[in-house]
Amino acid sequence: MSSSVPSLFQPIRVGTVDLQHRVVMAPVTRHRENKDHVHGELAKTYYTQRSGVPGTLMITEATFIAPQAGGYGNIPGIWSDAQIAAWKSVCVFPRPTRITDAVHANGSYIFLQLWALGRAADPDVLKQEGDFDLVGPSPNPVKYNVPRELTVAEIKEYVQLYSKAASNAIEAGFDGVEIHAANGYILDQFLQTVSNERTDEYGGSVENRVRFPLEVIKAVVETVGVEDGSMGMKDPLPTFTTFVERIRDEHTDLAYLHVIEPRASGDAGIVTLSDENRAQSNEVLRKVWGDRPYIAAGGINRATAIDTVSKYGGLIAFGRHFIANPDLPLRLKEGLPLTHYNRGTFFTPESAAGYIDYPFANNAVIVQAQ
């Protein structure tokens, strides 16, 4: 590869897959599934479109590992036979179409992000979908709803739910799995003192607070193999430094570390870094991780992506821009204008609008599965 080509557009090996560039499709929730958390034909078209540039790594929208781990409507799942079949084979006349196979046919790769909500769930949805309790590491509410503290036995059950979900993902044809441990969901809740006030082996010290997430990683690794596990991150830095050190030392062949940069905050997009956020920079995590694949995400544009990969290596994940630009890696490489995303259609259940109707660089709009 010519040195005149920015590193962002040069090949890299991640786990067991060989990518042709370092532009990753970040996991972005879209709420396009049905009430049973099963994908339909829309999702097949969506993922087919965004895998069209060969050698792209795609990370799916966050996917519930089990019904009791959910609590939002129209989110995909990976626990039932119907859900597994929808990921690998959506039966549509006159022939079955496959999401994972369609991605592979385009020469790209797809990892499934495993998700459990914990105290962040909507208790009304939990009741409607199985009379499940709102749970968390401690009875500390996010707003007004107080979660029930998980028992140790239930924590162990969650570990097995993650393991089974990972096994189901491999059955569905995924190249690997990513464990969602950021953004205030259940694994992050155990890591952080604001949500974890337990006094048993899963609370208190940093070593205790990282225990549950590490048990999940170990179980998933034992299920799918060491080269398929990965992890998302957020602050506070001291806890996550220890967490990443433990992951690095105990699982030497994980595919990558996926880190959300502090300049990005949910739907707020790019924000100005305060002195406190600068002090909490994720650069120390990059150093801890070493020269293994590191995916940075959040508030990054073409110029900063090229600069970051040139200086530090690794990969860059794009979320909102990948929504509106199904051929994003090509547009970034060629310096082509980007279509702006429409926030109003980010979360419109079972709708094609703002999902599969964004144009490609050649102005074509592909809205039907091929």
Report, as residue numbers or ranges, the catalytic residues: 185
Are the C-beta atoms of residues 185 and 179 closer than 8 Å to each other?
A: no
Q: What is the DSSP letter of 143?
A: S
CA distance 316 to 23: 5
A 10 A CB-CB count for 310 gives 11
C-alpha count within 13 angstroms, C-beta hemisphere, residue 259:
28
CA distances from residue 163 to 75, 76, 173, 182 in whole angstroms, order as listed: 19, 17, 16, 18
By the 8 A CB rule, do 148 and 201 touch?
A: no
Q: Which residues, other chains included, contact 53 with Cβ-Cβ below 8 Å and sequence gap of 6+?
A: 20, 21, 108, 327, 328, 329, 330
- Per-residue tokens: 4: 């005149």
CA distance 148 to 137: 8
CB neighbours of 342 closer than 8 A, spacing ≥ 6?
A: 324, 354
Query: How many CB atoms are located within 10 Å of the residue 154 CB?
Result: 14
- φ and ψ at residue 27, rounded to 5 degrees: -70, 125
Give bridge partners of residue 264 from the DSSP assignment. Answer: 270
- Which residue type occupies 290? G
Quick one: how far is CA 358 from the chain centroid? 22
d(CA 80, CA 291): 38
Beta carbons within 10 angstroms of residue 290's beta carbon? 9
The residue written with tokens 């094609």 in the block is 352
